[in-house]
Chains A and B, each alone.
Chain A
Amino acid sequence: MLFILIKYDTMFQIRQGFYLIYAILTAIYLLILFYLPHPVRMEVTAYLILSDTSVMGLLFVGALVLLEKQQNVLQSLFVTPLKLDNYLWSKSLSLTLIALMVSSAIGFLPGGMLGNWSATLIAVALSSLFFTFVGLGISARVSTLNQYLAGILLGGLVMVAPIALFFFTPILSLVFPINAAIDLLILTPEVQTPKGIVADTAVLVCWNILAFIYARSQFMKHVICK
């Protein structure tokens, strides 16, 4: 069931131009990255991955859910044997697929992230899933696109704010998802240790569990039991 859902979600995303727009953006990012000198490529790539591809699910999932709400697709969908968990996973995994493809292209073709490719893929996959779950939770409770954008703007500020903690307590700041993702992305292979990768991954997995529970509860409250 989950694979069929992912397939149809991906087909819908292709039809709505998600892949086309990201193909164009990837081409522009590649032009910029190839133009940059090698020593700064890693930092710029990490910035692009963090600010765009990892969080793209947060932006897109709201529009997807709101359109389904407006077209009364959700009401019909949840009277079928479809499980809510599968619906949430399908949306998150299909959007994470685009995030992984774009991040791999801009991270590995110009070579900026080749040194720590495994940490990059873990960071992108787990951050994208996390942000998409958060987006799903917010989209369940709003009714217009602008309400959703306001919600993710405020939510985004709350999630980005812990970056400042890094300058005061670097180790403690890693318990926040954004800091763990940055740690995975920007540390060079010489500095990164397997223990560090496992710790950051564990932090992101925990936040993903919380975000999934949040998305699930919001859908139960505002969509299914409404």
Chain B
Amino acid sequence: MNRNIYLFKSDWKFIGRDPMLILCLIAPILLLLVAFFLLPIVSGITTRMFNFPIESYFPIIRLFLFSLTPMMLGMIYGFILLDERDGGIISYLAITPIGKSGYLTVRMLVPVMLSFVAGVIFLILNGFASLLNGFEIIALSIIVSTEAPLMLLFLGAFASNKVEGIAISKGFGIIMLPMLIDYFLKGSWRWALSVSPLWWVERAVFGDLQYRWLYLLGAALVHCFLIFVLYKKFEKRFG
């Protein structure tokens, strides 16, 4: 583990040099500001111009923004991984004491930790404390923060280079669609969308209260299953 601390340290030096990584630290704050300040302003404009207030959609929009942070961080760390793989750096690290698994652990842990902290703050400041208790907020933040390694492993497993990585990242928005469809539409056919990890998250927050922990468990299981499958795929392809 001590060896991995060196990689952590070099990551922080890297952050200082790379403007995107500075932005990725600012991004959760920007998303928080959008959810907290911009949404009421936009609602004022839509009410004034179209007589269409969007206050009733604030919770789902805020949940959408909440799940964006880990996805963004996962993508950014995924792009670092692709850059380093294209440049052959991972092969060099593989023969150092850190090894390939140590490298991948650090690449996955950093965005998870950042997402978790950002997630808890986001939920509390955006009024989710009235919908969820403390344990549920922490559980939800842990589960959603695992979106980051999901994105990173997806890029690592399916993209042969950064060009394919960019193409794949365009499709990440699709993962968020089931969450919105489930919120706005009705019918039991929506269970077909349960393959999406964020569908469970949306159900846990807005679904039947008595099943909340079951939905949270479902969300955790789907995330773990997908991470396992993607990790195996990543190892098989580039191990």
A residues near B, CB below 8 A? 16-18, 20-22, 24-25, 28, 56, 59-60, 62-64, 66-67, 70, 144-147, 149-151, 153
Contacts and interface: CB of A to CB of B under 8 A. Distances in A.
Given A67-B86, A144-B83, A16 B167 contact: yes
A145 B23 contact: no
B177 A146 contact: no
Given A67-B86, A70-B87, A145-B82, A21 B171 contact: yes
B13 interface: no
Contact of B18 (A21, A28, A144): A144
| Candidate in A17, A18, A151 with the most chain B CB atoms within 10 angstroms | A17
Contacts of A147: 18-20
Which of B21, B161, B164, B167 counts the most A-chain CB atoms under 10 A from its CB? B167
Interface string B2-32: 0000000000000000111111000000000
> Of residues A16, A60, A64, which shows the largest number of chain B Cβ atoms within 10 Å of its Cβ?
A16
21 contacts: A16-B163, A21-B168, A21-B170, A60-B163, A62-B166, A63-B162, A67-B161, A70-B86, A144-B80, A145-B83, A145-B162, A145-B165, A146-B21, A146-B79, A146-B80, A147-B20, A149-B20, A149-B79, A150-B20, A150-B23, A153-B23
A63 B163 contact: yes
B1 interface: no
Given A24-B171, A28-B174, A145-B83, A64 B18 contact: no
A18 B161 CA distance: 13
B163 A146 contact: no
Contacts of B165: 63, 145
Interface of B: 18-23, 76, 79-80, 82-83, 86-87, 161-168, 170-171, 174, 177
B190 to A, nearest CB: 15
Contacts of A145: 79, 82-83, 162, 165-166
Given A18-B167, A147-B20, 20 more contacts: A16-B161, A16-B164, A20-B167, A21-B168, A22-B170, A25-B174, A28-B177, A56-B170, A59-B170, A60-B166, A63-B165, A64-B163, A145-B79, A145-B82, A145-B162, A146-B19, A146-B83, A150-B18, A150-B20, A153-B20
Given A24-B174, A146-B21, A150-B19, A66 B162 contact: yes
B41 to A, nearest CB: 12
A174 to B, nearest CB: 20
A17 B22 CA distance: 30
Contacts of B79: 144-146, 149
Given A144-B18, A145-B79, A146-B21, A59 B166 contact: yes
A60 B167 CA distance: 7
A146 B82 CA distance: 10
A25 B171 contact: yes
Nearest to B185: A35
A145 B166 CA distance: 9
A25 B170 contact: yes
